[in-house]
């Protein structure tokens, strides 16, 4: 008898479904005109961001409220080096810079847990924001115009590819020994240590890895807005939105962030232009509702319907 740590037989459908779904949406977005191109771009951006967040926070239970810092660092690197080095290089470099930053701060930041970790990550992102704001204004560059950015369609291909990659990473890590180790950390960190999970190493790696794709997305979205402004790319609302989507969709499962992003963007597209106030009211209500009644999000609700509750002794 063998114990399947990675069940490869069920991987293929999930991978194909992700890729086919992404290609379909990209195709629809491009053929149906610029409005839908933007909708598709936003959808993939949020999937990529939330999926990456889930890779660390969903799996370990350490809730990061500062993931925008990776996005901002990536955007900053791409904006500063714009026209100096080509985008195909600067965008991955932006991801790398975000990952390196996370790696460096991981050791001190990951010493605290629970609400302290939440507050610390939030504070850290704000700190970086104001340091860069100070630097930029000192050099007389409160914002940078980025002329000659690629077309939205081109950006869409990049972002869609990153969303697919992020989804597959979350999916495969969840099934790997690395992912099982992270799940043990989420369940009980001390117990994880006693059974020999290299807790610190795993947390640091996951934290750094979860910053790379958001860094690249940040760079791409700076291209999309065609100008760079520190306050915009380090906007804490981005962090909040990521966490909201993860809560509504359900973290710790690669399908959760997709559902969360679809749900929130769907709601936004329906209400944004007609009743923006209603949108925020509903969003608040949904968030409260999910936290209270469906803490595992939409994916948790689906799973609960699929399999009846296990027998209780």
Q: Which residues contact 2 (CB under 8 A, 6 or more apart)?
A: none
Per-residue x/- marks for other proteins, 58-77, CB under 8 A?
--------------------
From the list 257, 255, 228, the residue with the least C-alpha distance to 67 is 257
If DSSP codes are grouped into helix, strand and coil, which group holds residue 229? Answer: strand
How many angstroms separate the CA atoms of 189 and 156, rounded?
39
Distance separating the N- and C-terminal Cα atoms of the chain: 27
Query: Can you tell me whether residue 272 is helix, strand or coil?
Result: coil
| Beta bridge partner(s), residue 227 | 145
Q: How far apart are CA 99 and CA 219, in angstroms?
A: 13
Q: Minimum distance from CB of 4 to other proteins (Å)?
A: 9
Any residues with CB less than 8 A from the CB of 287 and at least 6 apart, and which? 244, 247, 248
Residues 161-190 as x/- pattern, contact with other proteins by CB under 8 A: ----------------x--xx-xx--xx-x
Between 165 and 205, name the residue whose CB sits nearer to other proteins.
205
Which lies closer to other proteins via its Cβ, residue 274 or residue 313?
313
Is there binding between residue 307 and other proteins (CB under 8 A)? Answer: no
Of the candidates 230, 237, 239, the one whose C-alpha atom is nearest the C-alpha of residue 130 is: 230
**Does 294 engage in binding with other proteins (CB under 8 A)?**
no
Q: How far is the CB of 183 from other proteins (least distance, A)?
A: 7
Name the residue with tokens 């600067």.
90
Count of chain residues binding other proteins (CB under 8 A): 25
Residue 181 C-beta: closest distance to other proteins, Å: 6
Site for other proteins in 189-208 (CB under 8 A): 190-191, 193-200
CB of 195 to other proteins, least distance (A): 5
Contact flag: residue 313 with other proteins (CB under 8 A) = yes
Least Å from the CB of residue 66 to other proteins: 26
Residue 73: other Cβ atoms inside 10 A: 29
Given the complex with other proteins, which of 292 and 312 has the nearer CB atom? 312
Least distance (Å) between residue 198 CB and other proteins: 4
Smaller CB distance to other proteins: residue 159 or 299?
299
Which residue lies nearer to other proteins by CB, 84 or 195? 195
| CB of 56 vs other proteins, minimal distance in Å | 18
Report the SS3 class of residue 145.
strand
């Amino acid at each position: 008898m063998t114990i399947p740590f990675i069940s490869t037989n069920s991987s293929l459908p999930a991978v194909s479904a992700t890729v086919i779904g992404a290609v379909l949406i990209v195709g629809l977005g491009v053929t149906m005109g610029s409005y839908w191109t933007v909708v598709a771009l936003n959808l993939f951006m949020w999937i990529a961001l939330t999926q990456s967040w889930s890779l660390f926070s969903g799996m370990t239970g350490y809730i990061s409220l500062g993931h925008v810092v990776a996005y901002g660092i990536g955007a900053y690197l791409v904006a500063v080096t714009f026209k100096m080095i080509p985008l195909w290089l600067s965008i991955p470099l932006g991801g790398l810079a975000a990952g390196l930053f996370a790696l460096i701060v991981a050791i001190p930041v990951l010493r605290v847990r629970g609400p302290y970790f939440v507050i610390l990550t939030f504070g850290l992102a704000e700190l970086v924001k104001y340091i860069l704001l100070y630097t930029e204004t000192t050099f007389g560059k409160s914002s940078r115009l980025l002329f000659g950015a690629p077309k939205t369609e081109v950006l869409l291909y990049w972002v869609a590819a990153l969303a697919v990659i992020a989804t597959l990473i979350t999916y495969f890590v969840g099934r790997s020994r690395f992912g099982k180790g992270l799940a043990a950390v989420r369940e009980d960190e001390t117990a994880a240590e006693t059974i020999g999970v290299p807790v610190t190493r795993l947390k640091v790696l996951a934290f750094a890895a979860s910053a790379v794709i958001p860094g690249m997305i940040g760079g791409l979205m700076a291209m999309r807005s065609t100008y760079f402004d520190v306050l915009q790319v380090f906007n804490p609302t981005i962090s909040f939105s990521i966490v909201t989507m993860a809560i509504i969709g359900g973290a710790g499962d690669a399908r959760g962030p997709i559902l969360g992003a679809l749900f929130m963007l769907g709601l936004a597209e329906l209400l944004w232009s007609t009743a923006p106030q209603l949108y925020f009211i509903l969003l608040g209500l949904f968030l409260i509702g999910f936290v209270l009644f469906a803490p595992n999000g939409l994916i948790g609700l689906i799973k609960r319907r699929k399999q009846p509750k296990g027998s209780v002794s």
